[in-house]
Amino acid sequence: MTRIRAALKGSIDRRTRIDTAFWLLGLVVVIVFLRWTVTPGGSSRLADFLAWVQGQGAVGENLSDYMPSRIETAERMLEVAGVGPDDVFLDIGSGDGRLVVLAARAGAEAIGIDRQELLVERARDNAAMAGVADRARFVHADALDVPSIVERADVVAVFLTIAGLSVVGPYLAEVLHPGTIVVSNTFAVPGWRPESVTMVEVDRRWGRTPVYRYRVPEAFAGDAGD
Ligand SMILES: C[S@@+](CC[C@H](N)C(=O)[O-])C[C@H]1O[C@@H](n2cnc3c(N)ncnc32)[C@H](O)[C@@H]1O
């Protein structure tokens, strides 16, 4: 009996030692990986790698990296723009297609343009899953290269960096027809005068996000004062 108990105890001790060794090994691997992601110069290899992945299948000029609008903000953008069944809605840089799907659900003919092929594929899947594939179209292109699509829009949505907006602003001013509504998430279009700025309550971490609404051509007449 004593011998059996001793053998059992020995086996448990051995298993505990093996478990501990595995945990320590895992910890070392994690520490080495995290250390590896930061180069001696302080930049992050992980960030570089993600940027590289993100750029795969991308065309044209990068007006913003991908970052989805919060769903509350996306819904509010469409509400602020007043998207309805008679509108052609366009999201410049449509990401996973969430605004386009919402606009198609509101009855609009909805179009998304994105420079990243993987996102265009994901957006098409999302539209199919939402049952709006017949009203939601996604184009893989640099939005700056397809004025014949952009000029059809009655409502344009953008969520781009300030640098991206300073490129897109003059392009839209040239291409859009009078009466077109433009809504921008978070950042104002440089040099444009908004008709309204709506603050969207997101959550405690994000706080409040502005949504800018512009009307063509009033947006670019006179001093913007932004
Ligand atoms: C911040 S995300 C916004 C995604 C989406 N509109 C939303 O609000 O959820 C910006 C998107 O713009 C796309 N983009 C950047 N430059 C572009 C360009 N020149 N033409 C088309 N899409 C572009 C990016 O690939 C990215 O998906």
Q: What is the pLDDT of residues 64-92, one digit of tens each?
A: 999 999 999 999 999 999 999 999 999 99
At 40 the pLDDT is 55
142 lines ligand 1 (CB under 6 A): yes
Q: State the distance from the centre of ligand 1 to the C-alpha of 15, rounded, in angstroms.
A: 52
Mutate to test the pocket of ligand 1, among 63, 98, 117, 200 (most ligand atoms within 8 A of CB): 63
Q: State the distance from the centre of ligand 1 to the C-alpha of 34, rounded, in angstroms.
A: 29
Measuring CA to CA, how many Å separate 128 from each of 100, 122, 132?
12, 10, 6
Q: State the distance from the centre of ligand 1 to the C-alpha of 95, rounded, in angstroms.
A: 5
Question: Tokens 């939402």 sit at which residue?
Answer: 130
Q: What is the pLDDT of residues 115-159, one digit of tens each?
A: 999 999 999 999 999 999 999 999 999 999 999 999 999 999 999
116 lines ligand 1 (CB under 6 A): yes
Mean pLDDT of 181-208: 92
pLDDT over 60 at 4, yes or no: yes
At 196 the pLDDT is 98
Q: State the distance from the centre of ligand 1 to the C-alpha of 179, rounded, in angstroms.
A: 24
64 lines ligand 1 (CB under 6 A): yes
β-pairing, 196-203 with 181-185? unpaired
**Cα 194 from Cα 205, distance rounded (Å):** 26
Q: What is the pLDDT of residues 95-117, one digit of tens each?
A: 999 999 999 999 999 999 999 99
pLDDT over 90 at 197, yes or no: yes
Q: What is the pLDDT of residues 205-218, one digit of tens each?
A: 778 999 999 999 99
66 lines ligand 1 (CB under 6 A): yes
Q: Which amino acid type is present at position 62?
A: N
CA-nearest residue, atom 27 of ligand 1: 95
**Cα 214 from Cα 197, distance rounded (Å):** 9
Higher pLDDT, 36 or 175: 175
140 lines ligand 1 (CB under 6 A): no
CB 96 within 8 A of CB 119: yes
pLDDT over 70 at 176, yes or no: yes
CA-nearest residue, atom 12 of ligand 1: 93
At 49 the pLDDT is 67
Q: State the distance from the centre of ligand 1 to the C-alpha of 143, rounded, in angstroms.
A: 9
When the pLDDT of each residue in the chain is averaged and rounded to a whole number, the result is 89
Longest CA pairwise span in the chain (Å): 96
Mean pLDDT of 220-226: 63
37-76 burial: b if 16+ Cβ within 10 Å, else e: eeeeeeeeeeeeeeeeeeeeebeeebbbebeebbeebbbb
At 219 the pLDDT is 97
At 30 the pLDDT is 86
- Could you tell me how far CA 85 lies from the centroid of its own chain? 25
